[in-house]
Amino acid sequence: MSLLVIGSLALDTIETPFGKAEYTLGGSATFISTTASYFLDGVRLVGIVGNDFPEKEIDFLKSKKIDLSGLEISKTKKTFHWHGVYHTDMNQRDSITTELNAFEDFDPVIPESFKDSEFVCLGNVNPEIQKKVILQLNKPKFIMIDTMNFWIEGKLNELRDTMKLVDMMVVNDSEAKMLSGEDNLLKAAKKIFDMGPKMLVIKKGEHGAMLITKDTVFCVPAFPLESVFDPTGAGDTFAGGFMGWLAKTGDLSPANLKVAIVYGSVMASLAVEKFSLDGIRNLSKEKILKRLEDFRNLTNFDFKSL
């Protein structure tokens, strides 16, 4: 099936305790579409970059068979630039610079050839933009949005408007609590279901992720690694693996949603092992399946009766 991805493309400067990369390819749509490209060809990308966006990165995205018909290149502005510095424990980071540049004008027009997209992954952008995208589409089978505390605090009404139109939402645990006013995640999910989505993925960082639907709860741990090299993009990589698997299979059964969330975790665990996008630029099918197997050993057990 077809997968449409909307979000940011950025040139990031990232500092972690392990090193520094300057003006390296980043952004939610970049991570999501690159990850999803391992699951299906022709991932449809809608985004905007500036006149400084490297030609070699365009070629990279093309090499992943990503359909760039919806990529706008600004003639006058530079690419979105974010500069972040991670603390020693890597769960904390400071944003040194956030220059929106061309991304400030992001007002996505969905190409005619993308309007029949069946699966839609809306990266973490202004919920008004997410809604405008959805309204341009021709009844997608499954719409997922990512969001963050910034929008919950600053654009709550707009976010709740958008939530009415989507099937699934991805948030982290503190955002789920903030949005629902409930500390318990099961209770939080019920309140969020009342706002529109039928399914929720709650990301818990180093503690993994939970999938909650009206009748299923599934937990997946974060893959235990001795060193996390750079957590940038882990959440977007997770979303790309999750939506990539769903779009590849077209199967929304509980059993297949579980596989999807594990593939999301598999891809995120591969991403954080290297700097920036490097962990997912050139993955072999074997490497992905090996990690999936490792996840199975990490979580599955044989049912043995008392």
Q: How far is the CB of 255 from its own copies (least distance, A)?
A: 6
C-alpha atoms less than 13 angstroms from C-alpha of 197 in its C-beta half-sphere = 28
Q: Which helix (H) or strand (E) holds 159?
A: helix 156-163
* Single residue of 138, 154, 186, 250 touching its own copies by CB under 8 A: 186
Number of residues that bind its own copies (CB under 8 A): 45
Q: Of 62 and 207, which has the nearer Cβ to its own copies?
A: 207
For residues 230 to 249, the per-residue mask of contacts with its own copies, x marking binding by CB under 8 A and - elsewhere, is ------------------xx
- Residue 183 binds its own copies, judged by CB under 8 A: yes
Where would I find the beta strands (DSSP E) of the chain?
Answer: 3-6, 10-16, 19-26, 44-49, 67-73, 80-86, 93-99, 119-122, 142-146, 168-172, 199-203, 209-213, 217-220
Dihedral sign for Cα atoms in the order 117, 104, 275, 145: negative
- Residue 215 binds its own copies, judged by CB under 8 A: no
- Residue 177 binds its own copies, judged by CB under 8 A: no
Q: Of 204 and 274, which has the nearer Cβ to its own copies?
A: 204
Q: Of 163 and 188, which has the nearer Cβ to its own copies?
A: 188
Distance of CA 166 to the CA centre of its chain: 15
Residue 12 contacts residue 24 (beta carbons within 8 Å): yes
- Residue 285 binds its own copies, judged by CB under 8 A: yes
- Residue 178 binds its own copies, judged by CB under 8 A: no
- Residue 253 binds its own copies, judged by CB under 8 A: no
Q: How far is the CB of 186 from its own copies (least distance, A)?
A: 5
- Residue 293 binds its own copies, judged by CB under 8 A: yes
CB burial readout 33-72, b (16+ within 10 A) else e: bbbbbbbbeebbbbbbbbeebeeebeebbeebebbbebbb
Best CA proximity match to 296, nearest among 238, 221, 205 = 221
For residues 89 to 108, the per-residue mask of contacts with its own copies, x marking binding by CB under 8 A and - elsewhere, is x-------------------
* Single residue of 100, 137, 178, 259 touching its own copies by CB under 8 A: 259
Q: How far is the CB of 219 from its own copies (least distance, A)?
A: 4
Q: How far is the CB of 261 from its own copies (least distance, A)?
A: 8
Contacts of its own copies in 101-160 (CB under 8 A)? none
Q: How far is the CB of 121 from its own copies (least distance, A)?
A: 18
DSSP class of residue 296 equals: H
- Residue 181 binds its own copies, judged by CB under 8 A: no
Q: How far apart are CA 286 and CA 176, in angstroms?
A: 35
Question: What is the Cα gyration radius of the chain?
Answer: 18
Residue 123 contacts residue 236 (beta carbons within 8 Å): yes
- Residue 68 binds its own copies, judged by CB under 8 A: no
Which residues lie near its own copies (CB under 8 A)? 38-39, 89, 183-187, 204, 207-208, 210, 216-221, 224-227, 248-249, 255-256, 258-259, 262, 285, 288-289, 292-293, 296-306
